[in-house]
Chains A and B, each alone.
Chain A
Amino acid sequence: GAVVSQHPSRVICKSGTSVKIECRSLDFQATTMFWYRQFPKQSLMLMATSNEGSKATYEQGVEKDKFLINHASLTLSTLTVTSAHPEDSSFYICSARMGGGPDTQYFGPGTRLTVL
């Protein structure tokens, strides 16, 4: 089956530093990748949609300069949290859409970010 990986699984950083999270589709080419944020005991909130070779589109209220998304290939998208602050601490989840066929989104295991 289709597998999506995320790296790292958890990261702790100091306030003011930048953190990069990778999302990879391991055995398929992802037409589109999505980035979500999940606060404790809350639902997933879509942050942005990432298409290979083009600029990401951000949801309302999500700062594009704060959360930089790069989709360099059909199997890799990265989310960089710039100048992280404690309020950015959260669980970040990516999903990858396999185009054609059932057109399903496959989810990564998530990355736990803690900003001290």
Chain B
Amino acid sequence: AQRVTQPEKLLSVFKGAPVELKCNYSYSGSPELFWYVQYSRQRLQLLLRHISRESIKGFTADLNKGETSFHLKKPFAQEEDSAMYYCAPRSNDYKLSFGAGTTVTVRA
């Protein structure tokens, strides 16, 4: 069965501290991995995708196929990073499966 696990429901860090959101997946085939973000009162939007290998808003995510993980990291969290983050593998038929989500609060 396809499964996405985000073990942390809530994550609270101080501004300037590193933040890491964990994501593990159990998926048949070779999914493409995404991180989506939802800021307060806004719609869901794409943060980054593993094939791009980019850093978006200071965030990076490394796909580890051996550990089936796609953890999201940022070395220095900012207050504007406070949001809900979803890890989402995508299957070959373009369907996204969302993890339970992690709420990040960055405190001043």
**B100 interfacial by beta-carbon distance below 8 Å:** yes
Q: Which residues of B contact A109 (CB under 8 A)?
A: 43
By the criterion CB–CB under 8 Å, are A108 and B43 in contact? yes
A49 to B45, CA, bound (A): 19
Known: A49-B94, A108-B43, A110-B43. 15 other contacts (CB 8 A): A32-B94, A42-B100, A43-B86, A43-B100, A43-B101, A44-B86, A45-B98, A46-B95, A49-B95, A93-B43, A93-B44, A103-B94, A105-B46, A107-B45, A109-B43
Bitwise, B91-106 to A at CB < 8 A (1) or not (0) is 0011111111100000
Across the A-B interface, the 3 shortest Cβ-Cβ residue pairs:
A107-B44, A44-B98, A43-B98
Chain A: minimal CB distance from B60 (Å): 18
How close is A10's CB to chain B, nearest CB, in angstroms? 13
Picked from B46, B93, B97, the residue with its CB within 8 Å of the CB of A104 is: B46
Minimal beta-carbon separation of B72 from chain A (angstroms): 16
* Shortest distance from the beta carbon of A38 to any chain B beta carbon, whole Å: 9
The chain B residues found within 8 Å of chain A, CB to CB, are 43-46, 49, 86, 93-101
**Chain A residue, CB-CB nearest to B44:** A107
Q: With a CB–CB cut-off of 8 A, which chain B residues contact A92? A: none
Interface contact tally, CB-CB below 8 A: 36
Q: Which residues of A contact B49 (CB under 8 A)?
A: 102
A-B contact pairs, 29 of them (CB 8 A): A34-B95, A34-B96, A42-B100, A43-B86, A43-B98, A43-B99, A43-B100, A43-B101, A44-B44, A44-B86, A46-B95, A46-B96, A46-B97, A49-B93, A49-B95, A93-B43, A95-B44, A95-B96, A97-B94, A102-B49, A103-B94, A105-B46, A105-B94, A105-B96, A107-B43, A107-B44, A107-B45, A109-B43, A110-B43
Chain A residues proximal to chain B, CB less than 8 Å: 32, 34, 42-46, 49, 93, 95, 97, 102-105, 107-110
- Hey, which chain B residues are within 8 Å of A102, CB to CB? 49
